[in-house]
Structure 1
Amino acid sequence: MNRLRSLSAFPDVRPLALTLLSACLALPPIVARAEPMGAQGDDFLYRVEQHDTLEQLARRYTLRTEHWPTLQRLNQIDDPHRLPIGKVLRIPLSLIPEQPATATAIHVTGQVTADGRPVRPGDVLRAGQSLRSIGDGAATLRLEDQSLLTLTPGATLELQRLQSFQGTGLTDTQISIDRGTLESTVAPAGTGVGRFEVRTPATVTGVRGTRLRVHTDASGSRHEVLQGRAAIADPTGAEQSLGQDRGAAYDARGALLGTQPLLPPPQGLQMAGSDGQRLNFEPVPKAVAYTVRI
C-alpha cells in the first residue's frame, strides 16, 4: 500500500508557503537493535544497555580497549564496570577510526548529473562529488548503512563527506545542499546512526535516526521531520530540536522563523479511472499545493 504524507506550510512566510504531499512505498517498522544515537558536536552518543562496560564500549567503537579511561573522565563515571542503564555516553568522534565509504545510485529518472556526467542506476559515488537534478530529474542514493537520499527535481548538492566508522557498521555522512529539496531516510534498519548532517547555506541539521526533508532556496530553508528526530543549528550555534511531525523554517541568514506541526496525511485515498491515472483524496486543510511521487 502506498502511504501519503502532507507537510505543514508556513503561511506567514510567503516564500516558504508550500506544502508537499509525497507518495512513497511504506517502510517496514523500525526495530531498535542497538543503542547508537547519532552525533552531537564532536561526540558520538550511545545509550547504555544492560551489561555494558567502558572497556567493551571502548573496544567496540574505538577498537582500542585502552581508551576506556578517556571515556570515564569525559562522562564522569565512578565505576567503569557498573554503568547506569539508559545513561547517554559521549564517545569522541576523533577516537573512532574511519575509512572511505560510498553511495550507490539505485534509482534515476530524467536527467541527473554528478560532476557534469550523467548518473545511471548502479553508479558508485564518492565524497566530493556534486550532484544536480535537471528539469524533472530525480535520483535515490543508498549509503552503506542502507540510509536513502533522494534528490528531487531542481536539487543541487555536494557529497561533502562519505566515511564509515570501522567495526561499527555506522556511517559518517555530510551532505551540503545549495538549492532544492533533499529527502533522507536515515538508518532504516534501526541499527543506529553514526553522524549524519545536512547543511544548507545557513543551517546544519544533525539527524539521529529519522525521515527528514530539507529544502533550501534564496529565501531560506525548511526542515520537516516525518519520523524520529533532528537538531538544527543556526550560524550562532543555537540549536533547535525537532521531533516527529514537526517543521521549522529559517530565513536566508539562518534566523529561525518558527516551528509548526506538519499537516496530517490525506484521507480517502483511492485510484480512479479505468487506466488508474487519477488519484482522489480528501483536501487537507491549510495545504496550498501538492507534489505526488510514487
Structure 2
Amino acid sequence: MRINTFLRLLLLNIACLLTLDIHAQPAGAHEDHFLYQIKPGETLSSLSETFTSKQSNWKAIQKSNRIANTRKVPIGMTLKIPFSLIDEEPDQAKVLYLTGNVLVNNQPIDKNRVIAEADTIITGTQSNITLVLSDESKVQIPPDSTVLVKRLRKFRGTGLIDAIFNIETGKLAAHASPKKTGVGRFEIRTPVSITGVRGTVVRAEASQQAGSSSELLNGKAAFIAAASRDQSVHLNANQGITATPKGQAGDIIELLPPPEIQLKQSSPFEFKVAIQPVTGATSYLVRVSNDISGYDVLFTETVKKPEARVTGPGKGTYYVSVRSIDSNQLAGADAVQPFTITATSIMTETGVSIGTQSGPLIQTHY
C-alpha cells in the first residue's frame, strides 16, 4: 500500500515537472498577440485551456493563425494567441530598493509600498527605485525619470508576466525573466518607440529633444520605431539603437566595452576613480551602489573627464560602477569594483550625503 502511494506521488511529481516544461516555451509578444512555440503533444485545445481557461477558444486561435488542419499543427510553430483571449489577473510589484525622493502618483512612498497597474513613478535628483515583479523580473528607474506602469498583470494559468512600462521622460533598466521561464509580454515604451524583451537585460531612455534609445546587454530584443511600426529591428547582446523625435530608427550600433578602472583612497571617506579612456567614449556614467549588481544605487554622476570621486553613506563596503557613453548617448556594460569606507558621513533623511565645498560632512565620534 505504501509502495502504491509512493508511486502515485512520484508520477504526480513527474507530471508536474512535465507540465512546467511544456509551458516554458513563450516567445514574447507581437502587437496584440502572445507568441508561443508549440511542443510535442500539445494541441490547440490544450493550449487554449492553459492560456485562456476555455478549450472552446481553440477555434479563435485557429482562425488567428490560419491553420487549415488542426491535426497537423507543426511542432516548433510560433503560435499567435490574442491577448484579448488570455485569462489574466492583476499583478503587483514590490519595492526592492529605494533611495532619495521618489513619488508614486505624486505621493512620497516608502519601501513597504506595492506598485500596481496605472501607477506613475517619478524619481528626483539622486533618487532611485528598483522593483521586483512576481516572476522575479527587476525594473530599475534611475534619477530624473517619469514612468507609467501601463500594464501589470500575469497569466492566470502559467504565471507569465504581462507588463508594459511607458517612459515619459528619463530612463528605465530591466532584467526580464531572470529564471528564463519567459514572459507573456514585457515592453518598454517611449513616445516614439517600443522595445519588446524576454529573458533580457535592457535599458531604455526617452527624451523630448533626442527621441529615444535602447541598449541591450544580454539576450535578444525587438525595437520598433513609431515611423515604421510594421517593421521591427532585432537587437543582439551589446547592441543599441536610437530613434529620432519623429520616430525614425537609426542604425544598430555596437555598444562600447566597459572601461578599465582603478581606485585609490584619498581620505577615510573618499576614493579617486581613474578611468582608462575608451576609444569612442564622450563621457562616463559613474554610480555607487550597496550591491554588486547595481540595483541599490546611492549616487549617480556623468563625467566627461576619465576621473571621478566616490564615497559612501557610512562605514562599509560599496561598489562603484562605470560605463562608457558614446556620441549617440548609448552606454555599454559596467566595470565594477568594491571600495570600503572607514568613516561615517552625515546623511539626510532621504539617504543622501550632506555635502560642503570640501566634501561630505563626516561623523568623527560614534
TM-score band (shorter)?
Answer: 0.7 to 0.9
Pick from 242, 251, 258 the counterpart of residue 235 of structure 2.
242
Which structure has the bigger radius of gyration? 2
Structure 1 residues not aligned, in runs of 5+: 1-30
Q: Distance in 2 between matches of 1:70 and 1:116?
A: 42
Question: CA separation of 1:135/1:55 partners in 2, compared to 1, >3 Å: closer, same or farther?
Answer: same
Kindly indicate whether residue 43 of structure 2 is the aligned counterpart of residue 53 of structure 1.
yes
Q: Distance in 2 between matches of 1:146 and 1:61?
A: 21
- In structure 2, what is the equivalent of residue 41 of structure 1? 31
Q: How many equivalent residue pairs?
A: 263
- In structure 2, what is the equivalent of residue 283 of structure 1? 277
Q: Distance in 1 between matches of 2:251 and 2:22?
A: 31
Q: Distance in 2 between matches of 1:139 and 1:277?
A: 25
Pick from 43, 46, 57 the counterpart of residue 67 of structure 1.
57
Deviates most, 166-175 or 284-293: 284-293
Alignment of 1:111-126 (within 5 A): 111-126=101-116
The answer on whether the counterparts of 2:40 and 2:75 sit within 8 Å (CA) in structure 1 is yes
TM-score by length of 1: 0.81
Residue 39 of structure 1 aligns to a residue whose secondary structure is strand
The answer on whether the counterparts of 1:148 and 1:184 sit within 8 Å (CA) in structure 2 is yes
Q: Distance in 1 between matches of 2:216 and 2:63?
A: 34
Residue 58 of structure 1 aligns to a residue whose secondary structure is helix
- In structure 1, what is the equivalent of residue 198 of structure 2? 208
Q: Deviations over 1:56-99 (max 9, x none)?
A: 21111111112223323333445535542322111111110122
The answer on whether the counterparts of 1:39 and 1:208 sit within 8 Å (CA) in structure 2 is no
Structure 2 residues not aligned, in runs of 5+: 1-20, 290-366
Alignment of 1:87-166 (within 5 A): 87-166=77-156
The code of the aligned residue for 1:239 comes to S
Pick from 265, 289, 292 the counterpart of residue 273 of structure 1.
265
- In structure 2, what is the equivalent of residue 84 of structure 1? 74
The answer on whether the counterparts of 1:38 and 1:44 sit within 8 Å (CA) in structure 2 is yes
TM-score by length of 2: 0.66
Identity %: 35
Q: Distance in 2 between matches of 1:122 and 1:32?
A: 36
Q: CA deviation at 1:224?
A: 0.8
Q: Distance in 2 between matches of 1:74 and 1:216?
A: 34
Pick from 176, 184, 189 the counterpart of residue 174 of structure 2.
184
The answer on whether the counterparts of 1:156 and 1:180 sit within 8 Å (CA) in structure 2 is yes
Q: Distance in 1 between matches of 2:123 and 2:150?
A: 17
- In structure 2, what is the equivalent of residue 26 of structure 1? none
Question: CA separation of 1:34/1:277 partners in 2, compared to 1, >3 Å: closer, same or farther?
Answer: farther
Deviates most, 133-142 or 59-68: 59-68
| Aligned-residue CA RMSD (Å) | 2.4
The code of the aligned residue for 1:134 comes to G
Q: CA deviation at 1:241?
A: 2.3
Pick from 232, 235, 248 the counterpart of residue 223 of structure 2.
232
Kindly indicate whether residue 245 of structure 2 is the aligned counterpart of residue 255 of structure 1.
no
Q: Distance in 2 between matches of 1:78 and 1:279?
A: 64
Q: Larger RCO: Structure 1 or Structure 2 (Cα < 8 Å, ≥ 6 residues apart)?
A: 1
Deviates most, 122-131 or 70-79: 70-79
The code of the aligned residue for 2:107 comes to R
Q: CA deviation at 1:149?
A: 0.8
Q: CA deviation at 1:118?
A: 1.7
The answer on whether the counterparts of 2:22 and 2:39 sit within 8 Å (CA) in structure 1 is no
Q: Distance in 1 between matches of 2:286 and 2:23?
A: 33
Deviates most, 277-286 or 223-232: 277-286
- In structure 2, what is the equivalent of residue 12 of structure 1? none
- In structure 1, what is the equivalent of residue 212 of structure 2? 221
Residue 69 of structure 1 aligns to a residue whose secondary structure is helix
Q: CA deviation at 1:105?
A: 0.9
Q: Deviations over 1:124-175 (max 9, x none)?
A: 0112221111110001011122111101111111112212221111122111
Question: CA separation of 1:241/1:113 partners in 2, compared to 1, >3 Å: closer, same or farther?
Answer: same
The answer on whether the counterparts of 2:194 and 2:225 sit within 8 Å (CA) in structure 1 is yes
